Structure 1
Amino acid sequence: MKSPVGILAASCHLPQHKRSVEDLFREEGVNFSSHVAARLGIKQVPIRNGQASESASNMAVAAGREALQRAKVDPLTVDVVVEYSIMPQEYLVPVWNMSNKVQAEVGASKSFVVGFSGGGSSNFMVALSSAAAMLSENDSMKTALLVTGDTTIPGNRVLNPDDPVTVMGDGASAVVLQSDAPGGVVIDTELWSDGNNHDICYIPGGSLIHPDDISLYRMRLDKARYDAFPKAETLRRLSDKLLERAGLKFSNVACVLCSNISSQDEAVMQQAFEGKVSPVCASNRESHGHLQGTDFPLNYLSLTESGSVKQGDYVLGVSHGMGTTAAVSLFRY
């Protein structure tokens, strides 16, 4: 019989310093208006201060340590470290990955590491699904540490400056999964990718072309194709399929967590999911902007702390992955 896998603890490590969206638009030479402000629904974002402690990997290490402490888990009992980072890392070469550094510095020396990239904020659900499957199917594995650290490319915080889609902040997060955890049970995950959309959102170049000059890196979005992708329809279809497999109906779902991309994006999600998107998503979006995969641990923690869900409630996490990888996860509190 498969063992249920649940979230034992989660943590977010965010820079203390924040910048207003209006200041960032001015700094990046992007036109800021009341219309754009209303469409984005983002007031400020956390930004690293340049200190070594706020590099992506160091913030990831801090988040990992705190999550393990909250879970009261000995790092030596962690079986696998799963990374779900999105942005370029501090060593722009193909052989370096922060998950190895996290493993070493949190003391998870008996684990192995694996990482996922390329799915936008859906990366968290991809990592979640993979880790949960490993723990559920393998009797020799009990605990997984999921971790990310993402720092936005300087001068590239406004995604698609000609017609802004979101404003990106810096941050890190970590989640401890464990088989037979008492709550936060990961019921199932449904994933879907469209390979034709591989270049909707990407960073041209790569470490083999200009490995040492991060100023040459810029995230680009094909806005026309991004808009054309049926985000809400795809996520609702995946959700209905997932719920049917679990023997549930959408009426059984207490609330929905989505990515913190923009108020416009959330409005579409609210319509697709019958007004069940939790208010914590809007609150975190306004004060933090889009934090890539960290959106979900942040929203999960806020939902838990809000007291608006009770034991036994079902919660959906949904992400369209900027049109590349759509993901839906079902949790039971």
Structure 2
Amino acid sequence: MAAPLAVLAAAWHLPERSTPLSEIPALTPQERETMNGLGIERVLADDALGDHDLAAAAARQVLADAALRPEDVDALILVESRAPQDLLTSEATRLQDALGLQDALTFSVGGLGCASLTPALLTARGLLAADPALRHVLVAHGSKPATPGRYRHPVTLNGDSGQALVLARTGPVRVLDLLQETNGSYWDLFRVDFRDRPVAEWREECRDTAAYSFRLAVESRNRLRGLLERLMERSGMRAGDLAGLAVQNLSAGGHAFVQDALGVELLPSCTENLRRYGHLGSNDSLLNLYTAREDKHLADGDRVVVVSTSPVAAWSMLLAEIGDGQTAHLL
């Protein structure tokens, strides 16, 4: 039986600055029409903050919320950025130095785009299971779009955010199960051709929009249904036992797609955060869960499935239970 995993504390750094859709530059008429139908009114955007700044701000906040000193953090896992500021440097140890975590085991994970939080959670669970002396794992990510235009046609509009989690064996949000699947045939469905191009000319390009809109959509529906079925079977639950879904904020259409595919209502926070923030990479699913918790839409004992997807393609589901943080749940 697997070792327990829980979120002891979670924090986000959301920039105060935001940009309305009307100020998003350099779009074709078709792209602007699609973007205007995403269900996003504004997108968080602060060009003065890089991915490191966003991750560091969230990490400092979560350590303060958890009343942890630097020496209390046993491991630091950085979810890597999509476009690092410099080549050959270590983003992970840069954050370690900024936070003063000199004794923490430090490294980065990623490679799955908007679903890259899942590898960090799986790794943290493994560390806690493997070493009884290890108590706290800090997971941090600064989500910054790879291109200045922020728009990924025909998918979403990307904003800025920082997220940090303190993971332990007990906590107020317990991770009861975690599943992930990938399909490598979509590894380059979206890409940015950046070599020998100034940053101002970087654009996210879809290799095959028909593959994204149709073939990947059908596979995503099947994958998500299969994952939910496995998750419910492993936990002895039915989908009707869930208090809701926390999903990524890609678009209103994406929300409807997941809700229809799984037959479970989305948490109200998903729609509201989509409207206010835009897509926040791998940060927005848990943000939606915690927003619903703070808004009293979730109560102790409620169980929620957190869904993450990525066009690379990757799909993951996390079964979370809201609780008092005093009991270690076994998978």
* TM-score in terms of structure 2 length: 0.89
Identity %: 24
Counterparts of 1:240 and 1:126, CA distance in 2: 21
For residues 149-168 of structure 1, what are the structure 2 equivalents within 5 Å? 149-160=142-153, 164-168=154-158
Instruction: Quote the residue 1:56 is aligned against.
Output: 51
Letter in 2 for 1:178: A
State which of 167, 172, 178 in structure 1 corresponds to 2:168.
Answer: 178
- Between the two proteins, the alignment pairs up a number of residues equal to 318
Pairing 1:137–2:145 present: no
Alpha-carbon displacement from aligned partner over 1:153-206 (angstroms, at most 9, x marks no partner)? 44331112xxx3211111211111112x2321111111101011111123335x
CA, structure 1 residues 320+18, in 2 after alignment: closer, same or farther (shift >3 Å)? same
In the TM superposition, structure 1's runs of 4+ consecutive aligned residues that sit over 4 Å from their partners are 32-35
Task: Tell me by how many angstroms 1:127 deviates.
Answer: 1.1
Q: Quick check: 1:78–1:111 contact (8 Å CA) kept in 2?
A: yes
* TM-score in terms of structure 1 length: 0.89
Task: Tell me by how many angstroms 1:216 deviates.
Answer: 5.2
Instruction: Quote the residue 1:5 is aligned against.
Output: 5
For residues 265-284 of structure 1, what are the structure 2 equivalents within 5 Å? 265-284=254-273
Counterparts of 1:97 and 1:255, CA distance in 2: 38
Q: Quick check: 1:121–1:295 contact (8 Å CA) kept in 2?
A: no
Instruction: Quote the residue 1:296 is aligned against.
Output: 285
Segments of 5+ residues of structure 2 without an aligned counterpart are: 323-331
Counterparts of 1:110 and 1:32, CA distance in 2: 52
Task: Tell me by how many angstroms 1:35 deviates.
Answer: 5.7
Counterparts of 2:301 and 2:16, CA distance in 1: 35
State which of 191, 206, 213 in structure 2 corresponds to 1:221.
Answer: 206
Pairing 1:70–2:80 present: no
CA, structure 1 residues 32+111, in 2 after alignment: closer, same or farther (shift >3 Å)? same
| Secondary structure at 2:8 match in 1 | strand
For residues 68-147 of structure 1, what are the structure 2 equivalents within 5 Å? 68-91=63-86, 93=87, 95-147=88-140
Counterparts of 1:85 and 1:264, CA distance in 2: 28
Instruction: Quote the residue 1:47 is aligned against.
Output: 45
Task: Tell me by how many angstroms 1:275 deviates.
Answer: 3.9
Task: Tell me by how many angstroms 1:37 deviates.
Answer: 5.3
For residues 176-325 of structure 1, what are the structure 2 equivalents within 5 Å? 176-179=166-169, 181-205=170-194, 209-210=195-196, 213-215=198-200, 217-222=202-207, 223-227=209-213, 228-229=215-216, 230-325=219-314
CA, structure 1 residues 325+97, in 2 after alignment: closer, same or farther (shift >3 Å)? farther
Q: Quick check: 1:63–1:174 contact (8 Å CA) kept in 2?
A: yes
| Secondary structure at 1:259 match in 2 | coil
Alpha-carbon displacement from aligned partner over 1:206-245 (angstroms, at most 9, x marks no partner)? xxx45x9434543222322222212232112112112211
Letter in 2 for 1:175: L
| Secondary structure at 2:311 match in 1 | helix
Letter in 1 for 2:92: S
Counterparts of 1:13 and 1:84, CA distance in 2: 15
Q: Quick check: 1:235–1:320 contact (8 Å CA) kept in 2?
A: no
Q: Quick check: 2:3–2:125 contact (8 Å CA) kept in 1?
A: no
Counterparts of 2:134 and 2:289, CA distance in 1: 24
Alpha-carbon displacement from aligned partner over 1:273-323 (angstroms, at most 9, x marks no partner)? 224211111111111111101112321221221111111111111122125
| Secondary structure at 1:36 match in 2 | helix
Letter in 2 for 1:110: D
Task: Tell me by how many angstroms 1:61 deviates.
Answer: 0.6
- Stretch deviating more after TM superposition (246-255 or 217-226): 217-226
| Secondary structure at 2:116 match in 1 | helix
Q: Quick check: 2:228–2:262 contact (8 Å CA) kept in 1?
A: no
CA, structure 1 residues 243+136, in 2 after alignment: closer, same or farther (shift >3 Å)? farther
